[in-house]
Structure 1
Amino acid sequence: MSSGRPAGLTGVAAYRLPDLAVTGAPRRHDVPQLCDQVRAACARAPGRHVVCDVSAVSSADLATVDALARMQLAARRAGSGLRLRDPSPALSALLQLVGLPGLGGLVIEMGRQPEQREIAGGVQEAVESGDPAL
């Protein structure tokens, strides 16, 4: 009898399709419907984080943050958490500014970004004689 190893890469989380997606600019009147979708996703898979794709959110303002905070609260009340997938840099910075990431299970997942390669020999650095040593 041999013990089999689990299939796939060890230590690598599987990429999961999002449970819901937020598009455009969520406003106050959208919040009840979004929270209902979060609760429904929590009911389908209890104890699992709800993955919310926010890559198509067009604005990074406090109305968007309020909607995401209320969605997070709905997930916490259902015994789960909320993961945001691919927020824009502006939205991510605003969430950091208001202190939302890391509070109560909100996790930000960044998607893969293509690497940008610079042209070899394209960058030259000069050292000034008066610069202090680091």
Structure 2
Amino acid sequence: MSFAPQPSPPTMDRKPQPTLTLTGTLDREVTHRLCEEARATLQATGADVLVCDVAGVGPPVLAAIDALARLQLTARRAGGRIRVRNPAPALRELLDLVGLPIEVEVGRETEQREPPGRVQEAVEARDPPF
């Protein structure tokens, strides 16, 4: 009995995951600068994921959510995405509240967040009226 040789497992050639550190209060000017830096970093490294370390971000206000949304949009336009590292519990709750679909890294594990649910638009004939 003869067996065909088993192919070797594919090598996992992981692209580097550059890190962008966000600190302080994130206003429009800072957000614009961060987006430019994110675009340049993703293009220069060819990475798929840009890790945004948000441990030093000020209180979780909507300006922080706006900055993360703009960074995610910038990364998508550059062919990648962002992953948030070290978010404060209040920032995680605010991300959940607004439904922004961003990966969150907790410790060494990545939590894949689900997009917000959709509203049912069609009614089946068998559904009771409310």
Normalised by the shorter chain, which TM-score bucket? 0.5 to 0.7
1:110 maps onto 2:116 in alignment: no
Matched residues, percent identical? 45
Which residue identity lines up with residue 21 of structure 1 in the other structure? T
1:1-134 mapped onto 2 (5 Å cutoff): 18-100=18-100, 102=101, 106-111=102-107
**Shift in Å, 1:44:** 2.3
TM-score norm. by structure 2 comes to: 0.67
- Any conservation in 1 of the 2:51–2:82 contact (CA below 8 Å)? yes
**Displaced runs of 4+ in structure 1, greater than 4 A?**
3-6
Indicate if the aligned counterparts of 1:18 and 1:53 stay in contact, CA closer than 8 A.
no
Report which of the two has the higher share of strand.
2
Secondary structure class of the residue paired with 1:22: strand
Question: 5+ unaligned residues in a row in structure 1: which ranges?
Answer: 7-13, 113-134
Give me the whole-angstrom Cα distance separating, in 1, the residues matched to 2:17 and 2:55.
13
1:10-36 Cα deviation digits (max 9, x unpaired): xxxx9x775210001111121110001
- What count of residue pairs does the alignment treat as equivalent? 102
- The CA RMSD over aligned residues, in Å, is 2.5
AA aligned opposite 1:72: Q
Give TM-score, length-normalised by structure 1: 0.65
8 Å CA contact retained: 1:53, 1:86: yes
Note the residue ranges of structure 2 that are not aligned, 5 or more in a row: 1-6, 109-130
Give the Cα–Cα distance (whole angstroms) in 2 for the partners of residues 88 and 21 of structure 1.
14
